[in-house]
Amino acid sequence: MRLQTLEEFLEATGRSCWPTNAYVKVPGFKELYVRRTDRFLGDVLIKGVLDIARAEATRPGKGVFTALVTDLLERGIPLYIECVQNKRFVKKLESMGFTRAAHEGAPSFFKLPSSKMNLIGTTSGRFSVKGPNLSNPPRMEDE
């Protein structure tokens, strides 16, 4: 079975198509499992959140996750990183400006796009789906 690209997934889920979860193909990732949801962050409903539930880079530490997050946030997509098991990755998310979600268990993190704050509670969940340029991700010295 052919995996859909992240762009295909975002386009389909932006039209409220099902399913709203899938393993997707993204350059630089061995595995990327995502989910499109509406989430309460505190007492505010955020619509069209992209949950990243599993991410495994082909070559960890080369900046593909940072490039993906940057691209998605620039396009106005709120992010939720679910159940982070790796302590080093927890520190990386915090250094990238992610906020720890308040719940028990393995820590999860969220980040809202700064330029699209009107997404809170009012968005239709539709976003621009122009393709990210992840074929040559930036190299991050601190990753």
- Secondary structure class of 118 (helix, strand, coil): helix
What pLDDT was estimated at residue 18? 67
Query: CA-CA distance, 46 to 42, in Å (whole number)?
Result: 10
What pLDDT was estimated at residue 17? 65
**Residue 42 Rama label (left phi>0; alpha psi -120 to 50; beta):** left
Please give the backbone phi and psi of residue 106, each rounded to the nearest 5 degrees, phi first. -60, 140
What pLDDT was estimated at residue 126? 39
What pLDDT was estimated at residue 115? 63
């796009």: which residue's tokens?
A: 113
Task: For the chain of 143 residues, list the mean pLDDT of each consecutive stretch of 10.
Answer: 90 76 96 93 88 95 95 95 92 95 87 64 37 37 37
Sign of CA dihedral 51, 4, 137, 47: negative
What pLDDT was estimated at residue 104? 74
Domains and CATH numbers, the chain: 4-119 (3.40.630)
Token pair recorded at residue 126: 């539709």
Please give the backbone phi and psi of residue 100, each rounded to the nearest 5 degrees, phi first. -70, 130
Q: What is the reported pTM? A: 0.77
